[in-house]
Amino acid sequence: MFWPLQENVISNEDLDLLVQFIRETKRFTQFTKVREFEAAYSEWMGCKHSVYVNSGSSANLLMIYAAAERYGWNPGDEVIVPALTWPTTVTPVMQAGFKPVFVDANLNDFAFDYDQLAQKITDKTRAIFLVHILGFPADVKRVKEIIGDRDIVLLEDTCETQGGTIDGVKVGNFGLGSSFSFYWGHHMTTVEGGMICTNDEDFYKLNVLKRSHGLARELPEKYQAPIKKIHADIDFQFLFLTDGFNFRNTEFNAVLGLCQLPKLDGFIEKRNKAYTRFLQICRQFPDDLITLDHPGKSSFVLPFVLKDRAKKAPFQALIRENGIESRPLISGNLLQQPFLKQYYVPGEYDTADFLHRNAFYIGNNQFVDDERLDVLERLMGQFFGK
């Protein structure tokens, strides 16, 4: 048996539709299929606007720059981020000239230590970048209570929890904007790709502009007439309204997204079914493992949190010998990484440090079946049942 971290979820049907598109289309750069995918994703999400980009990381970067322009942030203003996350939740904050303020994790949903979050807010806090980690929705209600009536923007990184819900509402609908990733191993794939979702029209327009150099022509046609009138002396096709990037995606990737999206709810259902069985297995060993669950989860991976650090390496070795790949929990505590060491304060990130040392995960997707989970249960009984 081989149980990899990621598996190919692009079906033969998807490939046939891609081949048909390649043969029939005259345009591969961003065009009508991208717009069609954005509209379909907005409908699935229950939001007003979606902006398709080339990665979830680019989505995070665009959101930071767009929020900064929308609200007039200044260099050195603060954005609160988790210590436990992927680097590109944090690096956009730094690249845009703002100060990341790190908050420890918790063992209930892997997101912020919410008490510490409240303590880290200052008069320079401009945004909180809330990450829904590894398929577990974060406590948005608590975060909003902490924000209260202060002028603090809430952004959601939803790259690992696509389709997760809180009281029936999909995560990614609670802040100014949210990011999603369609990378190879995520809930659905466009191979590379990401999405920004928002209900704020001005924020939407800024992200559309910044996705493609700041070009006015990128805006939907309904917004163009007054802009043409104001800037009549400049060729509209080459009118730049703001600074920007080239984070466009292609028609080819959008076609794949349109193939995958109708299957997404089924993919999530299968992932959650595997996670439920995984949870049942882990709960046989309460002296060894810490488990997490959430009624609105959208399982991303199967995480192991070992109480005894000394057991982590030998257990990983055992499952590796039996064909099961594993990896660290995201990046562990990011403040242990060389480029962020200067932000580390001993004793301030105890839970993130604990997870850095004691946790890892194995893959989950629609191909994780009872046969694989039976093997895992046997190996866990062999190791933890000693």
**What residue ranges define each of the domains in the chain, with the CATH number in brackets?**
12-262 (3.40.640.10), 265-384 (3.90.1150.10)
Q: What pLDDT, on the 0 to 100 scale, is given for residue 114?
A: 99
Percent of the chain with pLDDT over 70: 100
Confidence of residue 159 (pLDDT cuts 50, 70, 90): very high
Over the stretch 316-355, which tens digit does the pLDDT of each residue have? 999 999 999 999 999 999 999 999 999 999 999 999 999 9
At residue 322, the pLDDT reads: 98
CB half-sphere exposure, 116, CA atoms < 13 A? 19
Whether the predicted pLDDT of 122 surpasses 70 = yes
Residue 282 pLDDT level (bands cut at 50, 70, 90): very high
User: Of the residues 49, 132, 186, 356, which is catalytic?
Assistant: 186
Residue 223's pLDDT is: 98
Res 376 pLDDT > 90: yes
On average, the pLDDT of the chain sits at 98
Judge whether residue 386 has pLDDT over 70. Answer: no
Per-residue pLDDT reduced to its tens digit, 191-244 = 999 999 999 999 999 999 999 999 999 999 999 999 999 999 999 999 999 999
186 a catalytic residue: yes
Query: CA torsion sign, 292 to 266 to 55 to 185?
Result: positive
Determine the average pLDDT of the residues in 355-360.
99
Residue 162's nearest CA partner among 179, 184, 176, 175 is 179
pLDDT in tens, 9-42: 999 999 999 999 999 999 999 999 999 999 999 9
Q: Give the pLDDT mean for 266-295.
A: 98
